[in-house]
Amino acid sequence: MPRYFTEEHEWIEVDGDAATIGITDYAQEQLGDVVFVEVPQSGTMMTKGKEAAVVESVKAASDVYAPISGEVLEGNAALEDDPALVNTSPEEEGWFFKLTVADAGELDGLMDAAAYKAFCESL
């Protein structure tokens, strides 16, 4: 399944017309110990670029923006009890939410793994 990355350090894995979204290993490293994640409720309509979730570490709170538009299918309930999953498994178990891909065209211009790696190294 293709996986895309954004300059806001989110990853998007597309499976047909659904996508799973989380934050990257680089992002969790920058945040430090994640203590709380607020994920969107299913049924919420997301617009690309708008605030979709909140992730908090001890000292910082960051908004996570919707990388593409779509309807939320599911928020990751496991994060409520165990926000540390974002640190231990950011790109697998620590996913944030799944949503429908409203416009596959919005995926154009996102980075692949190699491009994202180069992007992080340039920071």
Single residue of 75, 83, 90, 94 touching another protein by CB under 8 A: 83
Answer for which of 7, 17, 47, 58 binds another protein (CB under 8 A) is 58
CB of 105 to another protein, least distance (A): 31
Quote the CA–CA distance of 109 and 102 in Å, as a whole number.
Answer: 16
What distance in Å separates the CA atoms of residue 71 and residue 28, rounded to the nearest whole number? 25
Distance, in Å, from the CA atom of 83 to the CA atom of 121, rounded to the nearest integer, reads: 27
- 35 part of the interface to another protein, by CB under 8 A: yes
CB of 96 to another protein, least distance (A): 17
Count of alpha carbons within 13 angstroms of residue 46, beta-carbon side: 33
Binding site for another protein (CB under 8 A): 32-33, 35-36, 56-61, 83-84
